[in-house]
Amino acid sequence: MTTTDRAVTMCEAFQRTAAIQPDAVALRTVGGGQTLTWREYAEQVRLAAAGLAGLGVSRGDTVSLMMANRVEFYPLEVGAQHSGATSFSVYNTLPAEQLTYVFENAGTKVVICEEQYVDRIRASGAPIEHIVCIDGAPDGVLSVADLYAAAADDFEFEQTWRAVQPEDILTLIYTSGTTGNPKGVEMTHANILFEGYAVDEVFGIEFGDRLASFLPTAHIADRMCGLYIQEMFGTQVTTVADPRAIVAALPDARPTVWGAVPRVWEKLKAGIEFTVSNETDETKRSALQWAMSVADKRAQALLAGEPMSDELAAEWTQADEQVLSKLREKLGFGELRWAISGAAPVPKETLAFFAGIGIPIAEVWGMSELSCAATASHPRAARLGTVGKLLPGLEGRIAEDGEFLVRGPLVMRGYRKELAKTAEAIDADGWLHTGDIFEMDADGYLRVVDRKKELIINAAGKNMSPANIENTILAACPLIGVVIAIGDGRPYNTALLVFDADSVGPTAARHGLEASPAALAADPQIVAQVAAGVAAANEKLARVEQIKRFRILPTLWEPGGDEITLTMKLKRKPIAAKFAAEIEELYAAEPGPDIHEPAKPVPATASA
């Protein structure tokens, strides 16, 4: 497709796509109990657009959606686009007081939601004109049937969507700020279309490609990959309402293209390793262990930056034919063409593990202010430890202080009603100041060092990346879900560790403990296991970066809580304030019993 043939609004893109194979399945739930063809999808989009217009929604108004990942979301969202509205999702976990700010900042006119959120939306007190409920009919709330019935007999559907312009605001993404209210990133139809076509140019997307939607639709990653890519290219989306069920859903969804956040890839890795070690059939277990050992050799070669020897390549081909291809099929990745990881740094060891079993993953980098991904390389051209190259059509440069600056059609229009903050982010020459420190190699491959404002500068003046330290520990400690490295202005680095919520129950059961993070944090065997992991991580870090002491907190950190944002970013300043006493004890001359040091496991044959 040439640039002159490309759609100029998301409405035009959807209309073109829906006409390709009208009877093909566009949307489905896990198991296929609910499906929607492109013909049905397009008709429901028409009904939703007409109904919203009947409620007084017109070009430039704002419609908010609040629901789980479900089939019903798509025609309602796309219908809002066709009415000319700015449509966006809010995080389902937001309390009423935060909904007040978001709805008022967005100028929300209509909210479309699940019944369970109606009371909270009302409690926000925001001046919303209509609430449409998709799965119930509380008093004073419209049903979807009521929405459809609100349409005027003379509504001109095609005239309405064709009036939408490329520079109209398509959506808002509220960045989950680590302090203060979130900022509403305004993205135009032109922004998102440029992103989609650039991603297609790098990776290749085909009509009928399959993927699974499981991240919140308020997250730009799901909006881009699950919604907008579908509108543009005709992917088949399987909706997964509970993100914790994504691993179990993959064999049903059978994605051909897919993206996930690092924690999902790490959980998949842990699940594969558990399956291999707990296979009860001795013959199958031996075959799996042999194939995984060959995969590990391939992974180690990648980590070392060395090509596979002819002997290893031949052995891997044999392992793939006999075992690894069947493993991928069991996982749901039998027809996977490419995969990406984004939203947060992913350990190189995790990427190498998957490449070893025949699932090459490309790490991408981006931000809401850049309409999702801004750097990428196809897995066959990716370089471990980098986030690929700048997408075609963008300009990038590294400032004197190392900050990465980007200019081009992906740059947001601005922050909603925040002119001063917009001016801070985008300079007079159109460069977006990303706040990330980057390095670039001679071939244009980019590596993220860390957030500019989050670098650790120790007492000796040494600059370090906390994210690098934290990811190295996470890769070596499968029981741990969150790590925060401490060391700014300190003589050495320490860390607070928090268990992975999904690991607490199974780990407690295996050790005969109460299923709580406090019980695990107090157990000597668990502490020794974590201490060994931290010691293994330290071996991969420079001496000055190594963790000298750590503390396992007896609590869990929930997304959207005091410690981490809804998109799993650490709230470093609030954490430092909330856990000030615990942090000070990490540096005490005589630390208490909850302070631990990294320690290699003692061999079983060693004397006591």
Cα–Cα distance, 603 to 108 (Å, whole number): 62
Average of per-residue pLDDT values in the chain: 91
> Is there a contact between 24 and 37 (Cβ–Cβ < 8 Å)?
yes
Domain 386-453 sits in CATH at 2.30.38.10
Q: Where are the beta strands (DSSP E) in 123-196?
A: 130-133, 142-143, 169-175, 183-188
Cα–Cα distance, 190 to 188 (Å, whole number): 5
Cα–Cα distance, 497 to 481 (Å, whole number): 8
The pLDDT score that the predictor gives to residue 176 is: 64
pLDDT tens-digit map of 467-513: 889 988 998 998 999 999 999 888 899 999 999 888 899 899 989 99
Listing from the earlier edge strand, what are the strands of the sheet with 361-363?
257-260, 338-341, 361-363
pLDDT tens-digit map of 525-552: 999 999 999 999 999 888 889 999 999 9
Confidence of residue 568 (pLDDT cuts 50, 70, 90): confident
Confidence of residue 64 (pLDDT cuts 50, 70, 90): very high
> What is the residue extent of each domain of the chain?
10-189, 261-359, 386-453, 456-596
Collapsing DSSP to helix, strand or coil, 301 comes out as helix
> Is there a contact between 382 and 388 (Cβ–Cβ < 8 Å)?
yes
Backbone angles phi, psi at 435, to 5 degrees: 80, 0
Helix (H) or strand (E) holding 36: strand 35-37
- Of 189-203, 372-386, 394-408, 562-576, the one with minimum mean pLDDT is 562-576
DSSP tag of 459: T
**If you average pLDDT over each of 162-166, 374-378, 590-594, which comes out highest?**
162-166
List, in sequence order, every residue forming a beta bridge with 522; answer none if it has no partner: none
Pairing of strands 361-363, 338-341: parallel
Taking the C-alpha atoms of 413, 415, 421 and 422 in order, what is their torsion angle to the nearest 10 degrees? 0
**Torsion-angle region of residue 240: left (phi > 0), alpha (psi -120 to 50) or beta?**
beta
> Is there a contact between 178 and 569 (Cβ–Cβ < 8 Å)?
yes
User: Nearest-CA neighbor of 70 among 199, 226, 177?
Assistant: 226
**CA angle 302-264-535, nearest 5°?**
60
Cα–Cα distance, 112 to 118 (Å, whole number): 9
> Is there a contact between 356 and 348 (Cβ–Cβ < 8 Å)?
no
The pLDDT score that the predictor gives to residue 457 is: 79
User: Would you say residue 281 has pLDDT above 50?
Assistant: yes
Mean pLDDT of 269-274: 84
Contacts of 129 (CB under 8 A, 6+ apart): 55, 56, 109, 110
Mean pLDDT of 238-263: 91
Percent of residues, the chain, with pLDDT higher than 90: 70
User: Residue-wise over 577-601: b if at least 16 C-beta within 10 A, else e?
Assistant: eebeebbebbbeeeeeebbbebeee
Backbone angles phi, psi at 83, to 5 degrees: -80, -10
Mean pLDDT of 279-289: 89
3.30.830.10, 3.40.50.980, 3.30.470.20, 3.40.50.150: CATH of 10-189? 3.40.50.980
- Of 178-192, 230-244, 300-314, the one with minimum mean pLDDT is 178-192
DSSP tag of 559: B
List, in sequence order, every residue forming a beta bridge with 64; answer none if it has no partner: 88, 111
User: Nearest-CA neighbor of 588 among 552, 548, 555, 554?
Assistant: 548
Higher pLDDT, residue 175 or 83: 83
User: Would you say residue 605 has pLDDT above 60?
Assistant: no
Collapsing DSSP to helix, strand or coil, 454 comes out as helix
pLDDT tens-digit map of 172-187: 999 865 556 889 999 9
**Torsion-angle region of residue 127: left (phi > 0), alpha (psi -120 to 50) or beta?**
beta
Backbone angles phi, psi at 397, to 5 degrees: -150, 155
The pLDDT score that the predictor gives to residue 255 is: 96
pLDDT tens-digit map of 306-323: 888 999 999 999 999 999
The pLDDT score that the predictor gives to residue 196 is: 96
Cα–Cα distance, 347 to 487 (Å, whole number): 21
> Is there a contact between 83 and 35 (Cβ–Cβ < 8 Å)?
no
Collapsing DSSP to helix, strand or coil, 195 comes out as helix
Question: What are the angstrom distances between the C-alpha of 329 and each of 244, 251, 336?
Answer: 20, 8, 9
> Which CATH superfamily, name and number, covers 456-596?
ANL, C-terminal domain (3.30.300.30)
The pLDDT score that the predictor gives to residue 151 is: 96
Mean pLDDT of 125-138: 94
Chain position carrying tokens 């392992």:
319
